[in-house]
């Protein structure tokens, strides 16, 4: 007991004689500031998580939009084939509807990928490829009534060489780029979140240390004042 009491007595002597003796309240204020800072850092961390979730949702939406382009291209081609084989003008109406839907979807990519210069360049290329595709099938539709056999031959040749292959390959590239970008964003967000949590824990530990020291100094000062009054 005597050996344990001596270090404690020395500690109180150091606190009484040192410059920290009158800093109890100051240390408590510092600990409060640090604690608030840690809470603000955690709040920013939650905001980062929300932004990361929003980016994931945006990327998933972009991937779905890109996949839908493939489907709408096929629909346009099917309506032209239907018109060539049947001569029913209703197919031309459907073709116009599908073409408009496809154009609207691709136009929306300007806002979806506006923050990604590489994808914006890909969007520009995609628009050029789709315009070539539209011109080709518009020409087939125009020629179908007067030159049906030749149009059917062109459609067969187009199918054999998979004329839309360049569009499909480009869409695959865009989807791969979007998935890569998403993975990079997730990694960056996770790194920021982990670092923020570590910093918050460190700041909280420092706040606890300063609070303990400040409380101890205030308690010691009160005991010292009580001893003086008793004398």
Find the DSSP H helices in the chain.
2-17, 24-86, 90-107, 109-112, 117-143, 148-160, 165-230
This prediction's pTM: 0.65
pLDDT score at 96: 93
Two structure tokens written together for 133 = 């595709």
With tokens 């991937």, the residue in question is 63
Local structure of residue 1 (DSSP, 8 states) = -
Of residues 170 and 212, more confidence is placed in: 170
pLDDT over 90 percentage in the chain: 25
Two structure tokens written together for 94 = 């459907």
> At residue 114, what are phi and psi to the nearest 5 degrees?
-65, -25
Domain extents in the chain:
56-178
| Model confidence pLDDT, tens digit, residues 125-148 | 999 999 999 999 999 999 988 888
* Cβ atoms of residues 81 and 141 within 8 Å: no
Angstrom CA distances, 99 to 63, 147, 152, 221, stand at 20, 23, 21, 83
pLDDT beyond 60 at 4: no
Contacts by 219-226 with C-beta closer than 8 Å and gap 24+?
219/24, 220/12, 220/15, 220/16, 220/21, 220/24, 221/21, 221/22, 221/24, 224/16
Mean pLDDT of 89-99: 92
Fold of the 56-178 domain = 1.20.120
Three-state DSSP class for residue 147: coil
Nearest to 173 by CA among 101, 132, 113, 102: 113
pLDDT beyond 80 at 9: no
pLDDT score at 1: 46
| Averaged pLDDT score across all residues of the chain | 80
């Amino acid at each position: 007991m005597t050996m344990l009491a001596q270090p404690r007595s020395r500690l109180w002597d150091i606190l009484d004689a040192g410059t920290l003796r009158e800093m109890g309240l100051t240390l408590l204020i510092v600990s409060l500031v640090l604690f608030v800072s840690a809470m603000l850092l955690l709040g920013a961390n939650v905001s980062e998580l929300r932004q990361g979730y929003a980016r994931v949702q945006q990327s998933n939406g972009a991937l779905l939009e890109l996949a839908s382009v493939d489907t709408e291209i096929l629909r346009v081609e099917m309506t032209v084939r239907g018109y060539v084989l049947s001569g029913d003008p209703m197919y031309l109406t459907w073709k116009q509807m599908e073409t408009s839907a496809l154009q609207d979807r691709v136009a929306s990519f300007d806002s979806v990928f506006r923050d990604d210069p590489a994808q914006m360049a890909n969007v520009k290329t995609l628009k050029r490829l789709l315009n070539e595709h539209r011109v080709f099938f518009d020409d087939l539709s125009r020629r179908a009534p007067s030159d049906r056999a030749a149009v059917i031959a062109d459609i067969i040749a187009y199918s054999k060489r998979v004329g839309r292959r360049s569009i499909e390959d480009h869409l695959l590239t865009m989807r791969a780029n979007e998935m890569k970008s998403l993975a990079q964003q997730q990694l960056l967000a996770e790194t920021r979140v982990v670092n923020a949590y570590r910093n918050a824990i460190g700041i909280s530990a420092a706040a606890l240390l300063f609070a303990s020291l400040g409380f101890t100094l205030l308690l010691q000062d009160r005991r010292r004042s009580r001893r003086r009054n008793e004398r």
